[in-house]
Structure 1
Amino acid sequence: MHALIVISHPEPASLTHGVAAQVAEGVSLSGNSFEIADLAAEAFDPRFTAADLAVHRRKAPPPADVAAEQERLDRADALVLVYPVYWWSMPGLLKGWIDRVFSNGWAFDFSPESKLVKQLGDLRVHLVALAGSDARTYARHGYLGAMKTQIDHGIFDYCGARVVTSELLLESETQDPAAHLAAARAIGRGLFDASRRGEVTDTA
Structure 2
Amino acid sequence: MHALIVTSHPESKSLTNSIALKIGEGLSQSGSHTFEIADLAAEGFDPRFSQADIASHKRRAKTPPDVAAEQARIDRADSLVLVFPVYWWSMPGLLKGWIDRVFSNGWAYDDNFEGKLSKKLGHLQIHLVGIGGADARTYEKHGYDIAMERQIDHGIFDYCGARVISSTRLLEADSRDPLQHFNTARNIGASLFDKHMQVKPTVAA
TM-score range, shorter chain: over 0.9
Mapped to 2, the partners of 1:176 and 1:112 lie a distance apart of 50
8 Å CA contact 2:165–2:197 kept in 1: the answer is: no
8 Å CA contact 2:81–2:127 kept in 1: the answer is: yes
8 Å CA contact 1:30–1:190 kept in 2: the answer is: no
The gaps in structure 1 that reach 5 residues or longer are none
Residue 146 (1) aligns with residue 155 (2): no
Mapped to 1, the partners of 2:169 and 2:49 lie a distance apart of 28
Q: Which amino acid aligns with 2:63?
A: P
- 1:31-110 aligned within 5 A: 31=31, 32-110=33-111
Mapped to 2, the partners of 1:13 and 1:145 lie a distance apart of 30
User: What do residues 73-95 of structure 1 show as CA deviations (whole Å, max 9, x unaligned)?
Assistant: 00000000000000000000000
Shift of 1:152: 0.3
SS state at 1:36 partner: strand
Mapped to 1, the partners of 2:56 and 2:193 lie a distance apart of 33
Shift of 1:111: 1.5
User: What do residues 59-114 of structure 1 show as CA deviations (whole Å, max 9, x unaligned)?
Assistant: 11111100000000000000000000000000000000000000000000001235
Alignment match, 2:25: 25
Mapped to 1, the partners of 2:174 and 2:181 lie a distance apart of 11
Alignment match, 1:119: 120
Shift of 1:198: 2.8
8 Å CA contact 1:124–1:162 kept in 2: the answer is: yes
- TM-score of the pair, normalised by structure 1: 0.97
Q: Which amino acid aligns with 1:14?
A: S
Residue 177 (1) aligns with residue 178 (2): yes
Q: Which amino acid aligns with 1:137?
A: T
Mapped to 1, the partners of 2:200 and 2:151 lie a distance apart of 17
- TM-score of the pair, normalised by structure 2: 0.97
Shift of 1:148: 0.4
Residue 137 (1) aligns with residue 161 (2): no
Shift of 1:199: 2.5
Mapped to 2, the partners of 1:28 and 1:139 lie a distance apart of 34
Alignment match, 1:8: 8
SS state at 2:28 partner: helix
The gaps in structure 2 that reach 5 residues or longer are none
* Identity percentage of aligned residues: 64
Query: RMSD in angstroms over aligned alpha carbons?
Result: 1.0
Q: Which amino acid aligns with 2:62?
A: P
Query: Which stretch of the first structure deviates more once superposed, 87-96 or 114-123?
Result: 114-123
Q: Runs ≥4 in structure 1, deviation > 2 angstroms?
A: 196-199
Shift of 1:200: 1.8
Shift of 1:157: 0.2
User: What do residues 94-139 of structure 1 show as CA deviations (whole Å, max 9, x unaligned)?
Assistant: 0000000000000000012351000000000000000000111111
Mapped to 2, the partners of 1:122 and 1:26 lie a distance apart of 23
Q: Which amino acid aligns with 2:6?
A: V
Mapped to 2, the partners of 1:81 and 1:187 lie a distance apart of 12
Mapped to 2, the partners of 1:105 and 1:68 lie a distance apart of 15
